[in-house]
Structure 1
Amino acid sequence: MGSMASKQVARRKAISSEKRALCDLNKSCGCEFPGCDYHPSDHKNWMDGLNPEKVHINKIVWPGTHDSATNKIGIPCISRPFAQCQSLSIYHQLVRGTRVLDIRVQEDRRVCHGILKSYSVDVVINDIKKFISETQSEVIILEIRTEFGHQDPPDFEKYLEEQLGEYLIHQDDRVFEKTIAELLPKRIICVWKPRKSPQPKAGSLFWSSGYLKDDWIDTDLPTTKFESNLKRLGEQQPCASRKFFYRVENTVTPQADNPILCVKPVTGRIRGYARLFIAQCLSKGCADRLQIFSTDFIDEDFVDACVGLTHSRIEGKA
């Protein structure tokens, strides 16, 4: 019992120290970067506002959400706080400016996060279709994966093609160098990551797992995650040289050996430092590698930071 208590005291000290370190870094270095003062006039149509003929796919800093479809996961006030990473529906995330969705499914096509489940993936698809019907030039990266420990939904590629086929952008390495205007009227890059089923074939409507990569660091320590994200990003090639999307997640996650297991207070340790991260990318010379940047509980300021850097790239200022 005594050793367990000592371990918890040490853990709390480590968390407190790392929170303070990020705060101090923010105070000493600031969070200014090219485009940091840019604010899109319409978050729902921010890609259109940047001019689709000028926006190349490999110049976009894509604002994404982590565990996107968890707004109604589990049981309210009981299990939901342990798995909820977003409070908005998929439609309202897209309206707010999200352009990369992280959707986890289980065998019966219900959205899930670990052992907790939510609504049918049909809800996600309908929200996406509604958003697309209301906009003209917004491109979405839709990542759908079979959650760890679950089985692939049967005939899932067929289902996705039936639902989204008219909007899907074919798997093609040349897409990265194209502008949004060159892809229209197609609107969705769908990355399908099954666990046991065959990966999507080259040239198909779906993109295989190798086209969306990340280095997931599972920790609730904010500075550890922040520095690891910078290090791993710095090891990547510049966006202009890559033929895949690379994601950095501005999140920390609850750990089983810590008494605080609810997502919101834990991820809040790093959530407010997205602008600092971008500024540090510039400072360390790896800003040209930043591509997909995702978060829990997305807000407009996070979107503005991503769009601002995108705008600066397009204007040749970053």
Structure 2
Amino acid sequence: MGSHVSKQVERRKSIQTEKKVLFDMKQSNGSEYPGSDYHPSDRKNWMSGLNPDKVQINQIVWPGTHDSATNKIGFPFVTRPFAQCQSLSIYQQLVTGARVLDIRVQEDRRVCHGILVTYSVDIVIEHVKKFLSETHSEVIILEIRTEFGHDDPPDFDKYLEDQLGEYLIQQDDQVFGKKISELLPKRVICVWKPRKSPQPKAGGLLWNSGHLKDNWIDTDLPSTKFENNMKHLGELQPVTSRKFFYRVENTVTPQADNPILCVKPVTDRIRPYARVFISQCFSQNIVDRLQIFSTDFIDGDFVDACAGLTKARSEGKA
């Protein structure tokens, strides 16, 4: 019992120390960078506002959401706080400016996060199509994967093609160097990551797992995650030399050996430091590697941070 208490005391000290590291970094180095003062007048159409004839796909800093479809997961006030990573619906996230969705499914096509489940993926598709019908030049990366420990939904590739076919951007490495306007009216890059079923084939309507990569660091320590994100990003080639999307997740995750297991208070240890991360990318000369930047509980400021850097890139300022 005593050793357990001692361990928890040390854990709390580590967390407080790491929170202070990020706070001090923000105080001393700031969170400004080329484009940081930009705020889209219409986040629902922020890509359109940057001129689709001018912006290349590999210039976009894509604001994404982590565990996107968890706004209604589990039971309110009981299990939901342990698995909810977003409070907004899929449609609301897209209207707020999110352009990358992270959807986890199980065999019956219901969205899940670990053992907790929520609505059918049909709801996700419905919200995506509603948003697409109301906009004209916004491009979305829709990543759908079978959650760890679950089986793939049967014939799920056919389901996605049937539901989104008119919007799907064909898997093609040339897409990265194209301007948004060159892809229209197609609007969705759909990455399907099954666990056991065959991966999508080259040239098809769906993209395979090799086209969206990340280095997930499972920790609740904020500066540890921040520094590891920076390290892995620095090991990559610039976006202009890559034929895959790379995601950095500005999140930390509750750990079983820590008494605080609710997502919100844990992920809030790092969530306010998204702009600091971008600023540090400039300081370390690796901002040309940043591409997808994801968060829990997305808000307008996070979107503005990504849109501003995208604007700076399109103007040759970053």
Q: What is the TM-score of this pair, normalised by structure 2?
A: 1.00
Q: Which residue of 2 aligns with 1:20?
A: 20
Partner residue of 2:156?
Answer: 156
Q: Using the alignment, how far apart are the partners of 1:160 and 1:311 within structure 2?
A: 32
Aligned residues: 318
Alpha-carbon deviation of 1:273? 0.1
Rounded Cα–Cα distance in structure 1 between residues aligned with 2:140 and 2:182: 15
What letter is aligned with 2:69?
A
Deviation at 1:44, TM superposition (A): 0.3
Aligned mates of 2:84, 2:99 — CA distance in 1? 19
For 1:220 and 1:161, locate their aligned partners in 2 and report how far apart those are by CA, in whole Å: 37
What is residue 185 of structure 1 aligned with on the other side? 185
Distance in 2 (alpha carbons) for counterparts of 1:52 and 1:70:
31
Matches of 2:44 and 2:303 in 1, distance apart? 11
Cα RMSD, aligned residues only: 0.3
Q: Residues of 2 paired with 1:284 and 1:173: CA distance?
A: 28
1:220 is matched by which residue type in structure 2?
Answer: D
* Deviation (angstroms), 1:156: 0.3
Distance 1:84 1:201 in 2: 33
Q: Distance in 1 between matches of 2:164 and 2:91?
A: 15
Task: Please name the residue that 2:107 is paired with.
Answer: 107
Is 2:139 the counterpart of 1:139?
yes
Once the 2 structures are TM-superposed, how far is the Cα of residue 10 of structure 1 from its aligned partner? 0.4
- 1-structure distance, mates of 2:288, 2:314: 12
Letter of the aligned partner of 1:247 in structure 2?
A: R
In 2, the alpha carbon distance for the partners of 1:182 and 1:49 equals: 16
Quote the residue 2:39 is aligned against: 39
Counterparts of 1:161 and 1:274 in 2: how far apart (Å)? 34
Task: Name the SS of the counterpart of 1:254 in structure 2.
Answer: coil
Superposed displacement of residue 185, structure 1 = 0.3
- Mapped partners of 2:127, 2:79: distance in 1: 24
Q: CA deviation at 1:243?
A: 0.1
Shift of 1:150: 0.2
Aligned mates of 2:197, 2:274 — CA distance in 1 = 36
Per-residue deviation, 1:53: 0.5
- Give me the whole-angstrom Cα distance separating, in 2, the residues matched to 1:45 and 1:21: 36
SS in 2 for 1:165: helix
SS of the aligned residue for 1:144 comes to: strand
Task: Write out the 4+ residue segments of structure 1 that deviate beyond 6 Å after TM superposition.
Answer: none
Amino acid at match of 1:289: R
Return the alpha-carbon distance in structure 2 between the equivalents of residues 268 and 25 of structure 1. Answer: 16
In 2, Cα distance between the equivalents of 1:25 and 1:100? 28
Measured after TM superposition, the shift of residue 43 of structure 1 is: 0.2
- Identify the residue that residue 302 of structure 1 maps to in structure 2: 302
- For 1:133, the aligned partner's letter is S
Q: For 1:291 and 1:313, how far apart are their aligned partners in 2? A: 11
Give the structure 1 partner of residue 58 of structure 2.
58
Cα distance in 2, alignment partners of residues 51 and 223 from structure 1: 36
Q: Per-residue deviation at 1:252?
A: 0.1
Displacement after TM superposition at 1:230 (Å): 0.4
2:270 match: secondary structure? helix
Q: Which residue does the alignment assign to 2:68?
A: 68
Residue 225 of structure 1, CA deviation: 0.2
Tell me, in whole angstroms, the C-alpha distance in 2 between the residues paired with 1:50 and 1:186.
18
1:6 is matched with 6
TM superposition score normalised by structure 1: 1.00
TM-fit CA distance, 1:70: 0.2
